[in-house]
Structure 1
Amino acid sequence: MAHAARPLRIWAVSDGRAGIEAQALGLAEAVARLRPAHIAIKRIGWKAGLGRLPWRMIPPGARTGDVIGEPYPHIWIAAGRATLPLSTRMLAWSGGQTFVVQTQDPRAPLDRFDLVIPPAHDGLTGPNVLPILGAPNRISRERLDLERAKFQERWAALPTPRIAVIIGGRSRAHDLPKQHGIKMARQITAAVEAAGGSLLVSFTRRTPPATQAAMREVFASLPGEIWDGTGENPYFAMLASADAILVTEDSTNLATDAAATGKPLFTLGMVGRSPKLQAFHADLGTRGIARPFAGEFTARLYAPVAETDRAAAELLRRYDGSS
């Protein structure tokens, strides 16, 4: 591949959902920390529900969203099933001039990509496969410091330890019904009260509304902040400002983000199970990074997980070596 002049042009491509976009954008940002680059975010969709079909059956002309056309980028980083009808064709469309990267297991022929970066618990292997712990994310030391500074005055008076609680919700494998959420909230509240600390809580879009309302009511007795979804999102600031972090077990992204801080990390059990996520959390436990929440916040220290930076360095090594 004849490499164009720097800075690199990188497209971070997804369907725009926050957790999916964060994987492509986080990896792009990590590349840009290593080499000058311009990042363009591309959000795509498909007409008439075609996105639910296998990628081979989706005609590229049925695409909606941002423009995908020449000139193509030096590096294409895509995440999520919705991008596959484009990612699998990008090498051909660009005449091999675009380095094509896909996060997650694409469940497509690996020779359609220059590099695939799946979570290790997917078990995918191949010469152009780089398994990582968890998923690429947007966490960096600089970002954490910046986000902490934004909210420092707002949370300065909160008692310590400050406990960040990130709550997921309904997915293919898991659910968080109201009564389970109440039980979870009561356990967390009792532990924070015993520690004399405060709470920083963020729910996701997947949290069932009735469950969220019930948990808010339980948490209301504690000092802290429960983000109401308005104003600037304090998610990264909560991770940066916390003395310990609790995340529900339904998401690779939430645990990966938290693990990138190096803070004590605990997982919250939900209804349902996922063998792949169980393997992921078991790996976190074996590495001494996380463990199930048992009513207290003490944990041994670990080095912040920097898998996104490792993936970015390997991406650039392969990009530079391509021809």
Structure 2
Amino acid sequence: MTRCWIVTEGLTGTENQCLGVAEALGVIPEIKRINLKQPWRTLSPWLGFEHAGIFTGDPITAPWPDLALCSGRKAIAAARYIRKASGGKTLVVQIQDPRVSPDQFDMVAVPAHDPTRGRNVIVTTGAPNRINKKTLDDAHGDFESLLSPLPAPRVAVMIGGTSKAYGMNDDVARTLAAQLKNLRDQGCGLMITASRRTGESQQAIIRDTLKDDPNVFFWDGTGPNPYLGFLAWADAVLVTADSVSMLSEAATAGKPVYIIPMAGGAPRIDALHQALIKHGAARMFEGKLDQWTYRPLNDAGIVALAIWNALKNPKKG
């Protein structure tokens, strides 16, 4: 059996990308959550300073695995150290753009909207994730009692928040709230979740517009997170423009995806929007719903296949 490590800083988003790839490979990974000692924590990963004494957290020591899936800025040092310390016996894969030369890894997986390219770079449409038929089927059953009473068509609404590139201000919230009210008035069931980045003011605007309606479920953060249930039960998914991960997951679920406009923007994430639109997965949200089909993304599977081929045909000496 292939021994696999997942090495990250412990951030949910980066770890989930690696877990999605591991699950697509059919391996059970050992999770390694690491940090760096000072001064290395604040130094640029371009400096190539990695050695055994700089890591804290879970041990990065022999015996070395067959495969290391690494993601995140601090994991760059661990990836390079594992590659060197294992004598090249570990296949080291960096998930997400490391913004250093891809030649420092055995393989790098990046979404198309990131610039890194090279002979060992696997390019995907969006971000690898854990969405697949089994996770959706399981979530459909787990949340049936909660979500089946809502009328169809059921619309999942995934709200992010202000980031470096995008703003979730009151004007954006008012526009979205009015559009959601219109969908509700047309008979749609709404399943809404906000993120930690969604401002209290913006949440209040949307909640107040849709309050006291049995056909609206706005998760309040208590009880099991219904996010996967929303994806499983949705007939359409609305996602704010800022979230690469939620857009990628919605497009992997194979449901019609609508991108909710926000203030601001960034060329990099705008490129993801255009890639999803070109793929047929997404359209910009203008207040109305349509139904269409497309081939769901399978970015974790694409990366997993490349890794499987590399493990099957290891580098010579």
Q: Deviations over 1:26-81 (max 9, x none)?
A: 1111111xxxx221122222346854431145665343322222222211111121
* Corresponding position: 1:18 with 2:8: no
TM-superposed CA distance for 1:167, in Å, is 0.8
Equivalent in the alignment of 1:116:
108
* Corresponding position: 1:184 with 2:176: yes
TM-superposed CA distance for 1:221, in Å, is 4.5
Q: How does 1:41-190 map to 2 (within 5 A)?
A: 41-47=31-37, 51-57=41-47, 61-190=53-182
Q: Deviations over 1:157-181 (max 9, x none)?
A: 1111111011111222112123322
Equivalent in the alignment of 1:4:
none
3-state SS of 2:103 partner: helix
3-state SS of 1:44 partner: strand
Q: In structure 1, what is the Cα distance between the partners aligned to 2:225 and 2:150? A: 19
3-state SS of 1:213 partner: helix
* Corresponding position: 1:264 with 2:224: no
Q: In structure 2, what is the Cα distance between the partners aligned to 1:77 and 1:317? A: 15
Deviates more, 1:178-187 or 1:154-163: 178-187
Residues 229 and 62 of structure 1: CA distance in aligned 2, closer, same or farther (over 3 Å): farther
Q: What amino acid is the match of 1:167?
A: I
Q: In structure 1, what is the Cα distance between the partners aligned to 2:136 and 2:169? A: 32
Q: In structure 1, what is the Cα distance between the partners aligned to 2:113 and 2:12? A: 22
Q: In structure 2, what is the Cα distance between the partners aligned to 1:21 and 1:66? A: 14
Deviates more, 1:262-271 or 1:59-68: 59-68
Deviates more, 1:278-287 or 1:45-54: 45-54
Q: Deviations over 1:185-244 (max 9, x none)?
A: 2212212322x0111112122222332233222232442322222222111111011110
TM-superposed CA distance for 1:131, in Å, is 0.4
Unpaired runs of 5+ residues, structure 2, are none
Q: In structure 2, what is the Cα distance between the partners aligned to 1:64 and 1:230? A: 33
Residues 246 and 105 of structure 1: CA distance in aligned 2, closer, same or farther (over 3 Å): same
Q: Deviations over 1:260-296 (max 9, x none)?
A: 1111110001111110111111111122210111111
Q: In structure 2, what is the Cα distance between the partners aligned to 1:190 and 1:131? A: 39
TM-align CA RMSD:
1.8
* 2:68–2:91 contact (8 Å) kept in structure 1: yes
| Aligned length, in residue pairs | 312
TM-score with structure 2 setting the length: 0.92
Q: What amino acid is the match of 2:201?
A: A
* 1:74–1:97 contact (8 Å) kept in structure 2: yes
Find the partner of 1:39 among 26, 29, 34. 29
Q: In structure 2, what is the Cα distance between the partners aligned to 1:74 and 1:13? A: 13
Unpaired runs of 5+ residues, structure 1, are 1-6
Q: In structure 1, what is the Cα distance between the partners aligned to 2:58 and 2:195? A: 25
Residues 49 and 92 of structure 1: CA distance in aligned 2, closer, same or farther (over 3 Å): closer
Q: What amino acid is the match of 1:27?
A: V
Q: In structure 1, what is the Cα distance between the partners aligned to 2:2 and 2:275? A: 35
Residues 236 and 51 of structure 1: CA distance in aligned 2, closer, same or farther (over 3 Å): farther
3-state SS of 1:260 partner: helix
* Corresponding position: 1:307 with 2:299: yes
3-state SS of 1:206 partner: coil
Deviates more, 1:49-58 or 1:276-285: 49-58
Q: What amino acid is the match of 2:12?
A: A
* 2:50–2:78 contact (8 Å) kept in structure 1: no
Q: Deviations over 1:77-127 (max 9, x none)?
A: 111212111112221011111100011211112222111000112132211
Residues 54 and 247 of structure 1: CA distance in aligned 2, closer, same or farther (over 3 Å): same
Equivalent in the alignment of 2:217:
225
Residues 270 and 49 of structure 1: CA distance in aligned 2, closer, same or farther (over 3 Å): farther
* Corresponding position: 1:281 with 2:273: yes
Q: In structure 2, what is the Cα distance between the partners aligned to 1:302 and 1:221? A: 35
* Corresponding position: 1:9 with 2:3: yes
Q: What amino acid is the match of 2:123?
A: P
